[in-house]
Amino acid sequence: MAFEKISFISADSVLADNARKRLEKRYGSISPDDAEVIVVLGGDGTMLETMHGWFDKGLPIYGMNRGTVGFLMNEFREAGLKKRLVAAHEVRLHPLRMDAKTVAGKNETAYCFNEVALLRETRQAANLKIGIDGKVRLPELVCDGLVVATPAGSTAYNLSAHGPIIPIGAELLALTPISAFRPRRWRGALLPATAEITIEILDPDKRPVSAVADYTEVRDIRSVAIRQENDISLRMLFDPEHNLEERILNEQFVP
């Protein structure tokens, strides 16, 4: 596909904003509503915000790093952008859907492309009961929190919590505890992408827990259900030499 209608979105920084202005002068400026592709300038945070804002429009998204880490971004270059877009590899990502119920009885739904993280809110450790596809697999997990990560998000918070890196296309989810106290030796699990994960908060009044889907936080939850939403897909574009699969593979061999 020849991408002629490009919409540029930039982070709120001088570096990213100046890059956007130069690219718009070179390639034109168009609204995302009328675009064929969105080009994001910034870091992974800006990319995640754009993914959440536009995943239901079906537009491919291509990032160029004008931020810090930039794991989800391509190298920034002003020249030859249209050729890079045509040659880019497309990856389709399915989000996780989080349905959380609060202690007050309120129901909240949020989507994420990296992870759902359950985190203790006070000095008291969280006390969780974990079920998979309707069957209780862990009656009690005392911990600082728990991460449910997609393959794309497995190199983020999940990896920092010593969870496994999952290759793109593996159709797996990582279930990773954060500082597990009991059972102390439980290191988590790999689950099929079709699994529905239910987590009940034991003693939520004394041990309050929040649930965070990427950057959407729901506090004081009583329970949460998490599953992959296969009916929704996001199209991301990567340069062939630095595609997402290659980056995730490289992360497993960092000295």
Query: What tokens appear for 227 in the block?
Result: 């599953």
Q: Which strands make up the sheet holding 115-120, listed edge to edge? A: 189-192, 172-178, 145-149, 115-120, 209-213, 216-218
- Give, in degrees to the nearest 5, the angle at Cα 81 between 77 and 84: 100
Please tell me which residue in 33, 44, 56, 144 is annotated as part of the active site: 44
Q: What secondary structure letter does DSSP report for 27?
A: H
Strand segments (E) across 58-171: 61-65, 89-93, 96-102, 107-112, 115-120, 126-132, 135-143, 145-149
Q: How far is 69 from 17, CA to CA, in rounded Å?
A: 18
φ/ψ of residue 22, rounded to 5: -70, -40
Distance CA 127, CA 200 (A): 9
Identify whether 44 is a catalytic site residue.
yes
Contact (Cβ atoms closer than 8 angstroms) between residue 70 and residue 43:
yes
Which residues in 91-110 are b (16+ Cβ under 10 Å) and which e?
bebbbbbbbbbbeeeeebeb
Best CA proximity match to 7, nearest among 37, 48, 44: 37
In contact, 12 and 41? CB cutoff 8 Å: no
Catalytic site residues? 44
